RNA sequence: GCCGACUUAGCUCAGUGGUAGAGCAUCCGCUUCACACGCGGGAGGUCACAAGUUCAAAUCUUGUAGUCGGUACCA
């Protein structure tokens, strides 16, 4: 069998996934071991409206690497997939479509027809994400796919709502909330993003104070009090002006009345500690219906709350006939004009102002007074904090800074605004009778029973999308409040690890912890991996507005899914990183390297089979064999350790260097002659079996990262079958994804073989170095002279054939001493050995002198540093003994080597 | 304002109380019978700056500067 010259991912990516899925490899039921320990991950459900971006690809890769790795280790593995209904986003998209196609608004067609349209839309476009997830190769169990608006998940939402209401944690209240005038809904604090506006203004408005004419300079003009504001239009809703009680400037005005300009109202001057005398004018206009602080002051002083805006941020009738119907920003201009006309505009200062924006549509959010549903989080918050304090759960990776950020946020947690003025989502299970009494119940029927009347209207609002996501870890496993025990819950909850971005630690992670503790009575997961953000190549955040996003699908097409996956995993240290196509390109090359190494093995595979016994037959093993077996087991051990601690970058480095450097650059080259021998022989078969076996084991290590390539190649290796599966999958159809993941066997570590091989590698490298520096043509084959101790002599002789081949030499002469002509290039090796290459007629003496001087000077620099350190009494006395001994040994080696090089140099001069 | 992270080779990034690492780029040489998506050999860094702790600091502490986050807020 001969492979194509280069790996083309297309075919592998289009065939294996279907087969894995059809064979049920992704479902936990594939595991035949009833006692198997469970490993479970729930996907952070992507928005049903969305398509994948690079952040998803990263996150999904990490989850799949862990899942495939654990599955191969024999765990009963569940990677649960699903999507989120994403209330606002989805409603906006369908609204836009409706407008474009039918020139209608949701109100035109009504709630029922509109939500039907959203469902239809969801059915049509909702599988964009799932197709992409298949493309990524994720080993998710499609039979357990969930949607946040599935029947059972919706029942869970209603049960949780009712319970929290009945226990008094959920309440309906009239509060200052964040209002998005474009989306026309309330937003929670977490959905509001602050943005600094550099060119903002601070307006100073003068309010005339009644009955103060006698204290003014002019007998007929009343005194004025100046207030500063960034939102002058809200003065139309002012119901007081506040000053600090200790502010002498205003002491005599407290209790006086202001004739509020542009309105017919009179408002009081009040005293409140909240006002800071040093800031602005020391007098603050109070608008209780449009500012959270003013609202609080209003409550303290029993002030009237005047709402002056409609839900689209135009002014309403309370703003007065002149302003009614004007947009808030137009009204602002007009208020300023009027004040100017009245001579009451003192000044306008430039002012850097921080404005809250709607996270989704970027509209400036308006704080206003509104009736909404809230959750008081204090009980659940304490449960979550207790879990962290007691068990350190969830364990964040990296722990710094996320654990602290999470804890601090919980400690300062405020009530959660959960109602949304939307139609797409879970409608709030609350009904009102004709006089406004509220009945919260799981179903309308129960509400009717409670109310004693059928004449009820359900609250039109829906719940925040994150309310249902908060239940995701257990609602997806069957918990819905009516049903509280299922096999899946018992087996897979708590889940093992959650992988997500830091932007939703508060929105999602913390809330899952809280609801899980409250409703299931246990943590939702042990560990939380917070991955970094994928930035563009200039280190900027990718965004639609900047149009600097990189589409994973394009990268898949260009470089293959496996190359993309291993690039992402290899970049993942928890820190943000800039995307570079060149990185994927180098891993595409890595994929091709794996392909070609396999190709070469298959070209010489007659008589070979994957057979673990070939690695255990120590009698027939060469130094190189022992070396690669040792290297493999160390790599496997370190790889498992890296994955246990979620060190994905480390894991990829280990694989890359083991496979490319150790296996391809050295092992294949070292055994090439034996492998490609023309005569078939038991020895050749053994060599071939050995290398194919190591290759097969390596493919297993690579599989979690590069599933398609490894599956493709694995099936081509001789004698691969389900006999290589982990025992938990012994009856399943043969696939590498169920093969036993190599643990790494410490008894196969061979320090002696590694040291010996290292000496050989060093020798070959030195000869190559001399060849390159002395410009020896590849076709010229010199002899290699070596002086070495008895043990090293034996090692070099044992590897004579390989040394001659890889160093391109004719003879290897090993002895106690060097006996070579003056016209030789020399170098020192480890263990006091020396190397010489006679170059009669080829040597350039000046070049060789330069070479030797260069080496001597390098050793000299190191020697000086060691000398200095070893002559430091403090060091010798206080440093660990082994450390001191190491340095002494190294010093001796340097002295020996320097002496040898100097001798060679003298001989040339 | 408060909290935090980062600053290492031209670029993107690892790393660690004890002789500075990778990939890419760069330089030199190779159609060596798996691979030019390759092979071989080089060059390149006072690990942001300053002080401190230590036998030893790029690594720990503090401060400074720059970059980027999170979060709060004074009208």
Q: Quick: pLDDT tens for A365-394.
A: 999 999 999 999 999 999 999 999 999 999
A176 alpha-carbon distance from chain centroid: 35
Q: What is the 3-state secondary structure (H, E, C) of A577-634?
A: EECCHHHHHHHHHHHHHHHHHHHHHHHCCCCCCCCHHHHCCHHHCCHHHHHHHHHHHH
**Which of residues 714 to 773 on A have a Cβ less than 7 angstroms from any strand B atom?**
765, 768-769, 771-773
Render A776-798 in DSSP notation, one character per residue.
--TT---EEEEE--HHHHHHHHH
Paired tokens of A598: 């396999």
Contact at 8 Å (CB) between A526 and A393?
A: yes
Asked if strand B contacts A531 at the CB level, meaning under 7 A, the answer is: no
Paired tokens of A691: 């290398």
pLDDT at A371: 94
Q: Give per-residue pLDDT as tens, A388-409.
A: 999 999 999 999 899 999 999 9
- DSSP strand E in A731-854: where? 783-787, 811-815, 824-828, 834-838
**Which of residues 488 to 507 on A have a Cβ less than 7 angstroms from any strand B atom?**
502-503, 506
Q: Which residues, in sequence order, are CB contacts of A632 under 8 Å at separation 6+?
A: A658, A694, A697, A698, A742, A748
Cis, bond preceding A494 (omega within 30 deg of 0): yes
Q: Give the phi and the psi of residue A531 in degrees, each rounded to 5.
A: -90, 165
Any idea which nucleotide's C1' is nearest the CA of A779?
A: B32
For the segment A601-628, the average pLDDT, to the nearest whole number, is 88
Residue A853: closest CA among A864, A842, A861, A843: A861
Rounded to whole angstroms, the Cα distance separating A67 from A78 reads 8
Residue A81: closest CA among A53, A52, A40: A40
Asked if strand B contacts A878 at the CB level, meaning under 7 A, the answer is: yes
Contact at 8 Å (CB) between A363 and A181?
A: yes
Does residue A364 come out as left (phi exceeding 0), alpha (psi in the -120 to 50 range) or beta?
beta
8-state DSSP, A699:
H
Q: Which of A125-139, A603-617, A828-842 has the highest mean pLDDT?
A: A125-139
Q: Give per-residue pLDDT as tens, A131-176.
A: 999 999 999 999 999 999 999 999 999 999 999 999 999 999 999 9
For the segment A306-322, the average pLDDT, to the nearest whole number, is 94
CA(A651)–C1'(B20) in Å?
21
Question: Is the pTM for the entire model greater than 0.90?
Answer: yes
Any idea which nucleotide's C1' is nearest the CA of A398?
A: B5
Rounded to whole angstroms, the Cα distance separating A702 from A706 reads 6
Rounded to whole angstroms, the Cα distance separating A633 from A639 reads 10
pLDDT at A214: 59
What percentage of chain A reaches a pLDDT higher than 90? 78
Confidence of residue A496 (pLDDT cuts 50, 70, 90): very high
Rounded to whole angstroms, the Cα distance separating A570 from A653 reads 7
Q: Give the phi and the psi of residue A283 in degrees, each rounded to 5.
A: -125, 135
**Buried b or exposed e, range A471-489, using 16+ CB within 10 angstroms:** bbbbbbbbbbbeeeeeebb
- Torsion sign over Cα A862, A867, A872, A878: positive
Helix, strand, or coil (residue A320):
coil
pLDDT of A282 strictly over 70: yes
* Mean pLDDT estimate for chain A: 93
pLDDT at A2: 77
pLDDT of A852 strictly over 70: yes
Confidence of residue A418 (pLDDT cuts 50, 70, 90): very high
For the segment A354-365, the average pLDDT, to the nearest whole number, is 89
Any idea which nucleotide's C1' is nearest the CA of A242?
A: B75
Rounded to whole angstroms, the Cα distance separating A909 from A902 reads 11
Rounded to whole angstroms, the Cα distance separating A320 from A328 reads 13
How many CB atoms sit inside 10 A of residue A390's CB?
Answer: 8
Rounded to whole angstroms, the Cα distance separating A851 from A771 reads 12
- Torsion sign over Cα A859, A860, A861, A864: positive
Measured CA to CA in angstroms, residue A603 lies from A464, A589, A702, A717 at distances of 60, 20, 22, 11
Contact at 8 Å (CB) between A471 and A515?
A: yes
CA(A537)–C1'(B69) in Å?
18
Any idea which nucleotide's C1' is nearest the CA of A505?
A: B70
pLDDT at A857: 85
Confidence of residue A882 (pLDDT cuts 50, 70, 90): confident
Residues facing residue A242 across a β-bridge? A270, A284
Predicted complex ipTM: 0.96
Helix, strand, or coil (residue A302):
coil
Residue A422: closest CA among A124, A624, A183: A183
Contact at 8 Å (CB) between A494 and A525?
A: yes
Q: Which residues, in sequence order, are CB contacts of A318 under 8 Å at separation 6+?
A: A236, A237, A306, A307, A308
Confidence of residue A463 (pLDDT cuts 50, 70, 90): very high
Q: Which of A407-421, A483-497, A859-873 has the lowest mean pLDDT?
A: A859-873
Confidence of residue A779 (pLDDT cuts 50, 70, 90): confident
Rounded to whole angstroms, the Cα distance separating A284 from A293 reads 11
């Amino acid at each position: 069998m001969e492979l194509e010259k280069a790996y083309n991912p297309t075919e592998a990516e289009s065939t294996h996934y279907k087969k894995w899925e059809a064979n049920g490899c992704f479902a936990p039921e594939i595991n035949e071991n009833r006692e198997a320990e469970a490993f479970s991950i729930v996907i952070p459900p992507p928005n049903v409206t969305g398509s994948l971006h690079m952040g998803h690809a990263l996150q999904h890769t990490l989850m799949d690497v862990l899942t495939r790795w654990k599955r191969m280790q024999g765990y009963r593995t569940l990677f649960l997939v699903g999507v989120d209904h994403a209330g606002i986003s989805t409603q906006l998209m369908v609204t836009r479509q409706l407008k474009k196609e039918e020139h209608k608004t949701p109100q035109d067609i009504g709630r029922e027809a509109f939500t039907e349209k959203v469902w239809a839309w969801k059915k049509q476009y909702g599988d964009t994400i799932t197709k992409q997830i298949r493309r990524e190769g994720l080993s998710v169990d499609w039979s357990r796919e969930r949607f946040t608006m599935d029947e059972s998940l919706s029942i869970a939402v209603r049960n949780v709502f009712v319970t929290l209401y009945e226990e008094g944690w959920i309440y309906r209240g009239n509060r200052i909330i964040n209002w998005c005038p474009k989306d026309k809904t309330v937003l929670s604090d977490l959905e509001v993003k602050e943005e600094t506006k550099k060119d903002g203004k601070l307006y100073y408005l003068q309010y005339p104070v009644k009955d103060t004419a006698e204290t003014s300079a002019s007998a007929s003009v009343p005194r004025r009090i100046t207030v500063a504001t960034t939102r002058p239009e809200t003065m139309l809703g002012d119901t007081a002006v506040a000053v600090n009680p200790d502010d002498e400037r205003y002491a005599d005005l407290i209790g006086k009345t202001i004739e509020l300009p542009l309105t017919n109202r009179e408002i009081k001057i009040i005293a409140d500690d909240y006002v800071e005398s040093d800031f602005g004018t020391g007098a603050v206009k109070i608008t209780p219906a449009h500012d959270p602080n003013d609202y609080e002051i209003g409550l303290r002083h029993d002030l009237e709350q005047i709402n002056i805006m409609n839900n689209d941020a135009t002014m309403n009738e309370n703003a007065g006939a002149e302003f009614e119907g004007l947009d808030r920003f137009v009204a602002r201009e007009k208020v300023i004009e009027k004040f100017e006309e009245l001579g009451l505009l003192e000044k306008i200062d430039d002012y850097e102002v921080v404005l809250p924006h709607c996270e989704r549509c970027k509209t400036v959010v308006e704080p206003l007074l509104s009736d909404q549903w809230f959750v008081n989080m204090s009980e659940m918050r304490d449960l979550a904090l207790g879990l962290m304090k007691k068990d350190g759960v969830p364990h964040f990776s990296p722990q710094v800074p996320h654990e602290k950020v999470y804890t601090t946020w919980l400690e300062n947690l405020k009530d959660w605004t959960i109602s949304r003025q939307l139609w797409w989502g879970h409608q709030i299970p609350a009904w009102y009778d004709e006089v406004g009494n509220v009945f919260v119940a799981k179903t309308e029927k129960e509400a009717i029973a409670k109310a004693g009347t059928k004449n009820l209207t359900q609250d039109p609002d829906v719940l925040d999308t994150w309310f249902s996501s908060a239940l995701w870890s257990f609602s997806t496993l069957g918990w819905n409040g009516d049903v509280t025990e299922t096999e899946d819950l018992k087996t897979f909850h708590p889940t093992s690890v959650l992988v997500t971005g830091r932007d939703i630690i508060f929105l999602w992670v913390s809330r899952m912890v809280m609801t899980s503790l409250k409703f299931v009575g246990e943590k939702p997961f042990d560990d939380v991996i917070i991955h970094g953000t994928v930035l563009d190549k200039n280190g900027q955040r990718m965004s639609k507005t900047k149009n600097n996003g990189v589409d994973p699908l394009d990268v898949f097409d260009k470089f293959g899914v496996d190359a993309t996956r291993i690039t992402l995993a290899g970049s993942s240290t928890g820190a943000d990183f800039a995307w570079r196509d060149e990185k994927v390109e180098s891993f595409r090359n890595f994929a091709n390297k794996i392909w070609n190494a396999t190709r070469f093995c298959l070209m010489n595979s007659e008589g070979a089979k994957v057979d673990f016994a070939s690695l255990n037959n120590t009698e027939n093993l060469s130094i190189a064999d022992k070396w690669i077996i040792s290297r493999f087991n160390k790599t496997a051990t370190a790889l498992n350790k890296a994955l246990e601690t979620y060190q994905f970058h480390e894991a990829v480095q280990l694989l890359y260097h083991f496979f490319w450097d150790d296996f391809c650059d050295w092992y294949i080259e070292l055994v090439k002659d034996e492998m490609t021998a023309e005569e078939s022989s038991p020895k050749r078969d053994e060599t071939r079996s050995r290398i194919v076996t190591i290759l097969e084991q390596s493919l297993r290590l690579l599989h979690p990262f590069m599933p398609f390539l490894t599956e493709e190649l694995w099936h081509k290796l001789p004698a691969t079958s389900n006999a290589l599966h982990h025992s938990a999958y012994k009856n399943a159809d043969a696939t590498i994804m169920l093969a036993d993941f190599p643990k790494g066997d410490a008894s196969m570590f061979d320090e002696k073989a590694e040291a010996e091989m290292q000496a050989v590698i060093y020798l070959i490298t030195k000869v190559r170095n001399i060849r390159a520096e002395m410009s020896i043509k590849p076709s010229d084959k010199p002899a290699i002279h070596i002086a070495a101790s008895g043990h090293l002599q034996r090692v070099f002789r044992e590897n004579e054939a390989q040394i001659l081949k890889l160093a391109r030499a004719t003879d290897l002469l090993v002895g106690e001493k060097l006996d070579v002509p003056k016209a030789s290039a020399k170098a020192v090796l480890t263990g006091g050995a020396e190397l010489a290459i006679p170059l009669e007629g080829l040597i350039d003496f000046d070049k060789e002198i330069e070479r030797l001087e260069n080496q001597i000077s390098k050793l000299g620099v190191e020697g000086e540093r060691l000398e200095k350190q070893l002559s430091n009494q403090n060091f010798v006395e206080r440093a660990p003994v082994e450390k001191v001994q190491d340095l002494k040994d190294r010093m001796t080696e340097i002295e020996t080597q320097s002496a040898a090089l100097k001798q060679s140099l003298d001989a040339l001069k």
